[in-house]
Amino acid sequence: MDALAVGIFEGWEPEDFLLLFGGLLGLGFGALAQWSGFCFRAAVAETTRPGGDRPKLAQWIAATAVAIALTQAGIAFGLVDVTGTPYLQADFSLGGLVVGGLLFGVGMSFAGGCISRLSVLAVRGNLRSVFTLLVVAVVGYAAIRGLLAQARAGFADGTRVPGGDTAPSIPDILSAGLGLPVATVALALGGIALVGGLALALRTAGRRPGPLAVGAAVGLLVAFGFAATSWVAAEAFDPVGVESLRFTQPSADALMYGMISTGVAANFGIIMFAGVLAGAFLQAAAARSLRLEGFDDPAQMARAGLGGVAMGVGGVLALGCAVGQGLSGVATLAYPSIIALAAIWAGARLGFAWRAGIERRVAATA
């Protein structure tokens, strides 16, 4: 078996493995998300109704708990190095995290899902998701490198928190305050997150193990992404970014790659996003759930478009989406990611309340 592996991968460079790992990560997440309906918007929506089990929320809690535990264990044992990730920059834009997170959450509530959910639904034949995903990608790219980039950068710089001596990692802060090794603190926090998170998830799911299994699998994928890219970064001659599941920039880069592939190099994010689409499509085809769905009326299309614009701008300002910041970022225990996740959650709740008010006014005038 070892000889066969050597033969298959003979001549491969570390950067080749980076693309392989990205594809495998995307395939796994896409298939799992299609099968389970894993969705942050659905998790928030469950909190707007009183009582009852909340399986989608339980999935998210379990995913967060496992992602934190495994990522922190990887950091403690030297298998994961997240120090150079965007989540752990010494200075960060507080305004970008808060305003961007609120925008993303409101947009998500209007569009019917975050970017990861829209990607999964799009390949199943949901034309509403295809439209919204294109809006997110175009607006996101404009905010990264296009017409909106200067305004976005100016706002981010104007609300930037000056950097300190260390990156904003909770284990690093506690390590300095308690005088304990960072590895010890990381393992302790990871263990607390795992035990407490799974217990809360089990209670939220009404004692059903299914949502916990789905969440644990997603959390495992997050940790795999960090471990795989950390290994490549350590082996590669050229600098390689350590990353895991995220969707804002990869969706925008994938759109540009699809249009001008000769001028854009494939990277981990692009291949990961393509893998998500492929994995979701294969699972939907196997389940015979492929079917075309369109907009019911122009108002629904307008809501989806506005939601896509808000998510495109918000995701870039907040340096990530519900998955990028809310799972991968939180797994690093960077407190800016926790701020972004809280803002996304608040924005989604605000968006749900806003939509409910609009629907009540429409019903009253009908």
Predicted pLDDT at 1 = 42
Is this model's pTM higher than 0.85 or not? yes
> Phi then psi for 264, rounded to 5 degrees?
-130, 130
Q: Which regions of the chain are under pLDDT 50? A: 1, 4
Predicted pLDDT at 60 = 97
Domain ranges of the chain: 16-365
